[in-house]
Amino acid sequence: MCSIRKLVSKLILTVGVLCLMTVSAAAHEGPQIAYEAETSSNIALMSAESNSADTVRMIPSGKTLVLLSSYTENDWVAASYLSDDGEGYTGYIYARDLNLQAMGESTVLSSLAIIRQSAHEEATPVTMLTCGEHFNVLGYNRGWFYVEANGFYGYLPLEEVNCTMEVTGRVNFREGAGTDSLVLSKLDKGTILTPLYSDGEWVKVSYEGETGYVSTDYLKAADYSPIANPGLGNGQDVVDFASQYLGNRYVWGGESLENGCDCSGYVMLVYREFGVELPHSSYSMRQYGEKVDYEDMVVGDVVCYDGHVGIYAGDGQIINALNSRVGICYTNVNYAPIITIRRLL
């Protein structure tokens, strides 16, 4: 959540942003950078912008590259490639040999977020979004997401984006931000993490109840991740455990059943007790587990709303961290339109 100082500074920019919006939308006919692309055939990553340059690495068809410069269809683009054995390569590739990859949809976390023309906190504002607004994620690079919202293209910092991230190669999960920091564990390619903060070089993440750091070079945006291992117990066990915390505080962004948590934090912490790892994101939870119809809903299913999530407790009720006024409580399952129902056990 933004501090009061940051919020005030963003409000000061509002008039300027609104003035820029019409000009920006008219001038921008499409994204100038799409950070991820897939090779359409077996192609060479070159050392310079020329077919006669040295070959840095041959890249098989269907592999993903991170683009490092502006994309123009009939031109060269700088790109980096992380091979299956964990080696990284940087060079140039002809744009027409690539298929641009959209990376999914996300929502804004903070009360007010500014999309900027470039990946820098002082860059020119393009447009503004408020908490819960949706946008398309087109790419990620060193703490910034390249996004599209309502026809506007630009950059949002990692802290503003409600998302999960995926490890692109085997990497160290460290206690601090630096290669000299203690290695807590090694993460395999495909591991899903919840990002908390980025300084550009390192991303602070949450993984299996621990907080640590991963090099940003080994991360990409992930729309969702299926549950790899089924949890233990059943739906009634989940509700029995969850009900122990009735009446406890609601704290936005909190991750403590005893001292306070928000709606997605509550569901995440409850299900963690049963071996199911979920992101701290009500939006991302919509993609986990198995989708079930309303008439098939059973105790323990996760009920997802627009900006909210709870656990079905039976008799037409969910148990949830509702708001700061009432905290963790029972609520009618139809108190708001249901987006989806997910079964995790």
Question: Cα Rg for the chain, rounded, in angstroms?
Answer: 22
Q: What Cα–Cα distance (Å) separates residue 56 from each residue in 46, 78, 87, 163?
A: 5, 12, 12, 33
What is the extent of the structural domain holding 190?
164-222
Identify the pLDDT of residue 102: 52
User: pLDDT category, 327, cuts 50, 70, 90?
Assistant: very high
End-to-end CA distance of the chain: 32
Q: Which residue has the higher pLDDT, 123 or 228?
A: 123
Residues 61 and 40 sit within 8 Å (Cβ to Cβ) = yes
Looking at the fold, whether 41 and 151 belong to one and the same domain comes out as no
The residue-averaged pLDDT of 89-112 equals 71
Of 10-24, 36-50, 98-112, 141-155, the least confident: 10-24
> Rounded to two decimals, what is the model's pTM?
0.40
Identify the pLDDT of residue 142: 67
User: Nearest to residue 32, comparing CAs of 117, 91, 141?
Assistant: 117
Q: Which residue has the higher pLDDT, 91 or 102?
A: 91
Could you tell me the maximum CA-CA distance found in the chain, to the nearest angstrom? 71
Beta strands in 132-279 (DSSP E): 134-141, 144-149, 152-157, 161-162, 164-167, 171-174, 183-187, 192-198, 202-207, 210-215, 219-222, 255-256, 260-261
Residues 340 and 286 sit within 8 Å (Cβ to Cβ) = yes
Domain end among 70, 100, 130: 100
User: pLDDT category, 250, cuts 50, 70, 90?
Assistant: very high
CA 37 – CA 138 distance, rounded (Å): 10
CA 83 – CA 64 distance, rounded (Å): 9
Q: What Cα–Cα distance (Å) separates residue 200 from each residue in 120, 141, 204, 213, 214?
A: 10, 8, 10, 12, 11
Looking at the fold, whether 11 and 139 belong to one and the same domain comes out as yes
How many domains is the chain built from? 4
Which conformational region is residue 209 in: left (phi greater than 0), alpha (psi within -120 to 50 degrees), or beta?
left
Identify the pLDDT of residue 21: 35
Identify the pLDDT of residue 273: 83
User: pLDDT category, 334, cuts 50, 70, 90?
Assistant: very high
**pLDDT tens for each residue of 41-90:** 888 888 888 889 899 889 888 887 776 655 555 678 777 777 777 677 87
Residues 312 and 299 sit within 8 Å (Cβ to Cβ) = yes
Looking at the fold, whether 63 and 125 belong to one and the same domain comes out as no
Looking at the fold, whether 9 and 155 belong to one and the same domain comes out as yes
Decide if 17 is inside a domain: yes
Looking at the fold, whether 14 and 124 belong to one and the same domain comes out as yes
Residues 33 and 66 sit within 8 Å (Cβ to Cβ) = no
Looking at the fold, whether 10 and 76 belong to one and the same domain comes out as no
Looking at the fold, whether 339 and 259 belong to one and the same domain comes out as yes
Looking at the fold, whether 285 and 335 belong to one and the same domain comes out as yes
Domain end among 117, 134, 162: 162
Element (H, E) at 59: strand 55-59
Q: What Cα–Cα distance (Å) separates residue 287 from each residue in 87, 225, 345?
A: 31, 7, 14
CA 167 – CA 153 distance, rounded (Å): 25
Identify the pLDDT of residue 101: 59
Q: What is the CATH number of the domain that holds 94?
A: 2.30.30.40
Q: Which residue has the higher pLDDT, 56 or 137?
A: 56
Decide if 174 is inside a domain: yes
Domain end among 60, 79, 100: 100
Residues 251 and 260 sit within 8 Å (Cβ to Cβ) = yes
**Amino acid present at 132:** G
Looking at the fold, whether 169 and 252 belong to one and the same domain comes out as no
Decide if 229 is inside a domain: no
Identify the pLDDT of residue 4: 34
Highest mean pLDDT among 127-136, 163-172, 229-238, 300-309: 300-309
Looking at the fold, whether 216 and 73 belong to one and the same domain comes out as no
